[in-house]
Structure 1
């Protein structure tokens, strides 16, 4: 049997907007100026990976999308258009496409249905709702030529998010003898307790399901490329095509072993007789999201801290990079004494630079301005601790609030710099 070439994609999150103040400029694109930069980045990534799949040699036989095609269950017209063009381009080039829903595609309101359903009209096989399906035999009859023979003994066991959440026994989800068996599902393997970088916790995939002898298991939800939750099982997360938040940023200076060093799809070669061969189809044009090494300002005066900030921000970054820097234990008086006009200039060396000052608690004898500057983020965290009992929601609100505070501080600093203060 000639090996089946399968491309495993997941977590596209079409429609994700990113920071509200990060927009495409006229210099970057006259057609897309004013749109959310990260939304456009994701669309470009989907278009580029689709073109690579279509032109790949040897030809790709089938593409699996393991959920979270859309960032929310009511996607924008642009997100829908991008998904439709991707599916149409793949199916018109005689490539089978199978799609399941992830937790972001799944609405809590049952009567709205799934946003992925319409993609079946473009030739994709879409499995959503609360029932799993086994796709084999006549499911591939629309594929012609040599690819048809290769897919003849392929069985895709599609387990969308709602089915994973609603069927606790899964006694029917087993490989079929004589077939190349692939499990396609979306969720967190039961030994993975962490929140993902979007502060969401998906439903768990029981380890028992993964241990049932699959040739390959295509997983969605975790955004780390080629993450293998069980070392003895050929089950992988494809990860996202683009790093979405600074929670997925690469550490800088760069480390090739960084979990977020590569984004893209997984390129799999499958046959009944051999173990799956795993390769990477990388998104080489992914926008760099870089996390600089933290500065601990506990014993620094303003001059020493400015020198440390210069050293960080004068590094050789790609001009289109998005960068984040945390300054820890900074006294509020030191923060106010920094040359914010120079910092604003340094930040312009990259497309976007987020600086998070983690200020010390100070006594009430300090100036009113310093007290306000020092305690705003801490007040927000204290408020959430007191009034939001749900840990997942508290984490999301904390990060969203801190981003808003930081954006407001940047606007004030920019105004002060323009006035020469």
Structure 2
């Protein structure tokens, strides 16, 4: 038979608004969250690039987290609908499973992607599902079987799931497999067992980890597609670039499969991915405020103006922090779209202070509040980053105002 061409994508997160929520300044999207628009533009690129492939693509697999939330807003819904209409209009089959972000808290609410079924996509939520034989509109796919495992499925539900002899068997699953990346499984994550991935699938299309083309098991053809855009600073690319950085690129996986040979996997990189960069750590134990800013300026050399950046300043004293020139800090911030400086104070600050806990720094109060009220998750990390960024902006604005008086 002629090889089947499959596009594997995941973790698109339509509706994501991002750290610090910088806004689009001009053009048709002026006033909207920049990161929300970034993701929508990546999806537009995705649809056009899939249609440009030669030979043509037969099947698109979306391995969960098409949406960032289980109740997406109109812009996200419109972008998803446009993608499916474009693909189905070209005769390309589409299968979507729910990820942990787009799985509703209550089953009665239904999958946010369910409406895409009316546009011709096959949407799988709640339970495992098999798609094959006459489920397909395209006769080229009659020997292809998709074994779908959405995020809400536990190990008991996929215990009996096995490849079918004489078929091209694709596992489509959303969850974490503890592999080579240093990424912990936290409460609420769906865990994919190594046994599941090693059952002899032709290919396993995975979602949940955002590192592009990550293969958790060397002896199984199972891969994470990763996200088109780096979404959090936890996914930031090292700057200057480093070899083997798992977050160095994003894109789609183009997978060619047949019955008799291992799958051929190609990366189609997204060329307009916004740089999200980690500028490393600065040890401030023996540096003055002026020297810290000198080092921050050095770290910013070569950073693209459209980048989102983060840098850690370690072991800074409160006296040195208070001596910073706010106008110079503001000029450093202005070198890119967003610069988040994670100030980490020396432990001796606490022992030297006789003030009650309620008088602690606002940053520490905010971290404690989020930790108390929000479970450890990507959303909790986002809330912390968002709050700290706003506090930093307020401090700089106030200092600039005082300087001008």
CA distance in structure 2 between the partners assigned to 1:155 and 1:250 by the alignment: 36
Q: Which residue of 1 aligns with 2:108?
A: 111
Aligned residue pairs, count: 400
Deviates more, 1:187-196 or 1:254-263: 187-196
TM-score scaled to structure 2, two decimals? 0.91
Cα distance, 1:383 vs. partner? 6.2
Using the alignment, how far apart are the partners of 2:173 and 2:21 within structure 1?
35
Aligned equivalents of 2:322 and 2:158: distance in 1?
59
| CA displacement 1:162-210 (0-9 Å, x = unmatched) | 2x22x505344111111111011111125689347xx774211122111
Residues of 1 paired with 2:350 and 2:342: CA distance? 21
The answer to whether the 8 A contact 2:205-2:222 is kept is: yes
| TM-score, normalisation: structure 1 | 0.88
| Corresponding position of 1:348 | 334
Flag the 1:152–1:391 CA change in 2: closer, same or farther, 3 A: closer
Contact 1:20–1:36 (CA under 8 A) maintained in structure 2: no
Asked if 1:25 corresponds to 2:22, the answer is no
Between the aligned partners of 2:16 and 2:368, the Cα distance in structure 1 is 29
1:367-382 correspondence to structure 2 within 5 Å: 375-381=361-367
User: Which residue of the other structure, out of 371, 379, 391, is the alignment partner of 1:408?
Assistant: 391
**CA separation in 2, counterparts of 1:259 and 1:308?**
26
Aligned partner of 2:376 among 380, 392, 405: 392
Match of 1:194 in 2: 183
Q: C-alpha separation between the residues in 1 aligned to 2:342 and 2:177?
A: 33
CA distance 1:363–1:56, shift in 2 (3 Å): closer
Gaps of 5+ in 1: none
| Aligned counterpart in structure 2 of residue 328 of structure 1, from 314, 322, 326 | 314
SS of the residue 1:194 aligns to: coil
Deviations 1:297-336 (A, max 9, x none): 01111232222122122x1111111111111111111112
Between stretches 118-127 and 227-236, larger displacement belongs to 118-127
Unaligned runs of 5+ in 2: none
Q: Match for residue 285 of structure 2?
A: 298
Select the residue among 288, 310, 316 that pairs with 2:275. 288
The alpha-carbon distance between structure 1 residues 383 and 134, as it changes in their structure 2 partners (threshold 3 A), is: closer
- Residue matched to 2:42: 45
Q: Which structure 2 residues correspond to residues 74-153 of structure 1 after superposition, within 5 A?
A: 74-130=71-127, 132-141=128-137, 143=138, 148-149=139-140, 151-153=141-143
Deviation at 1:418, TM superposition (A): 4.0
Please give the per-residue CA displacement for 1:197-246, whole angstroms capped at 9, x wherever unaligned. Answer: xx774211122111111010001111011111111000001011100010
